[in-house]
């Protein structure tokens, strides 16, 4: 794992957008894995800004979501399909057919899960996966005690996650109890992973993921097995890391208030 620590949440978005944009510029038709939630929004908006200014072409991408709630009507504004339409398809100029989301309103959820895996494989796999992290260490909706080799499946949301996500709904009782999510084994097959986290409320989960044992109680810790993962953290999210965790200046960025951390995988 590479860990990059930058001062603020805005810096996280800019730094991670630089990483993603460089990869897209080199391979405009790549397959991008896109997380939902608040953490990656700054990246998506920064990429959209670059598209608007004419420096980045995004319309050739194919995107795959990590997960979707079960039990929301199609088109529900809090569904991840609606989120990705708002934050990615429209601002990036992408045909909606290029933004794939698990079909969690189907009656045959197990079949939908298997077909989603097949779709990812047919697209050639995920080239770069953007991730956030839950306060309990989840990635996608792989909650604690998920199998470290799990595949796309129906899963239950923990009370903690439903409480965390209540801010997007009218209240905690409106947050669905189940989801369709890519598994940890699915996520590990992405060729490159960029995980972003901001704020102190993520500090414990980040520390467990980076420095804790690889354990199902912190699903993100499985990324320790991934050969090409970079975490981009603001100082608050990094505050639980103990000293000496692969922190060194980033070449070319200086050390006078600029980002510090290990150089990310390019
Ligand atoms: C959500 C999503 C995850 C996301 C995480 C953190 O519920 N399923 O993909 O990374 O929880 O959310 P946020 O970025 O809003 O803190």
Rg (CA), the chain: 17
The reply to whether ligand 1 has any atom less than 6 angstroms from the CB of 132 is yes
pLDDT of residue 256: 35
Query: Is the beta carbon of 264 within 6 A of some atom in ligand 1?
Result: no
Q: Which residues of 233-244 are buried (b: 16+ CB within 10 A; e: fewer)?
A: bbbbbbbbbeee
Q: Cβ neighbours of residue 3 under 8 Å, at least 6 residues apart?
A: 210, 230, 231, 233, 238, 241, 245, 246, 247, 261, 262
**Per-residue pLDDT tens over the stretch 106-149:** 999 999 999 999 999 999 999 999 999 999 999 999 999 999 99
CB 51 within 8 A of CB 93: yes
Tell me if 141 sits within 8 A of 116, measured CB to CB: no
> Given 117, 138, 165, 234, which residue is catalytic?
138
Which residue CA neighbors atom 1 of ligand 1 most closely?
37
Domain count, the chain: 1
Q: Which domain holds residue 110?
A: 2-262
Distances (CA, A) of 94 to 22, 58, 59, 97: 19, 7, 5, 8
**CATH number for the domain harbouring residue 178:** 3.40.50.1360
The one catalytic residue among 67, 87, 103, 117: 67
Catalytic residue flag (residue 67): yes
Block means of pLDDT (10 residues each) for the chain, 266 residues, are: 94 96 98 98 98 97 98 94 98 97 97 98 98 98 98 97 96 96 98 98 97 97 97 95 60 41 46
Of 46, 117, 127, 136, which one is the catalytic site residue? 136
pLDDT for residue 254: 39
What's the CA-to-centroid distance between 121 and ligand 1, angstroms? 24
């Amino acid at each position: 794992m590479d860990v990059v620590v930058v001062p603020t949440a805005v810096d996280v978005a800019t730094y991670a957008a630089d990483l993603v944009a460089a990869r897209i510029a080199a391979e405009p038709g790549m397959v991008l894995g896109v997380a939902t939630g608040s953490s990656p929004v700054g990246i998506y908006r920064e990429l959209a800004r670059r598209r608007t200014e004419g420096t980045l072409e995004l319309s050739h991408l194919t995107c795959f979501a990590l997960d979707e709630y079960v039990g929301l009507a199609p088109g529900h504004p809090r569904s991840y399909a609606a989120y990705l339409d708002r934050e990615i398809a429209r601002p990036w100029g992408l045909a909606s057919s290029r933004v794939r989301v698990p079909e969690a309103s189907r009656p045959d959820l197990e079949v939908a899960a298997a077909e989603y895996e097949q779709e990812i494989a047919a697209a050639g796999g995920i080239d770069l996966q953007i991730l956030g992290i839950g306060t309990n260490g989840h990635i996608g909706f792989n909650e604690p005690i998920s199998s470290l080799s799990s595949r796309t499946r129906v899963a239950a949301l923990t009370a903690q996650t439903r409480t965390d996500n209540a801010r997007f709904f009218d209240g905690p009782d409106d947050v669905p109890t189940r989801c369709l999510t890519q598994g940890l084994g699915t996520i590990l097959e992405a060729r490159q992973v960029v995980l972003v986290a901001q704020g102190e409320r993520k500090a414990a989960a980040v520390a467990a993921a980076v420095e804790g044992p690889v354990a199902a109680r912190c699903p993100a810790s499985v990324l320790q097995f991934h050969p090409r993962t970079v975490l981009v953290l603001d100082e608050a999210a990094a505050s639980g890391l103990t000293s000496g965790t692969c922190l060194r200046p980033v070449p070319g960025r200086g050390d006078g208030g600029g980002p510090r951390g290990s150089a990310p995988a390019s």
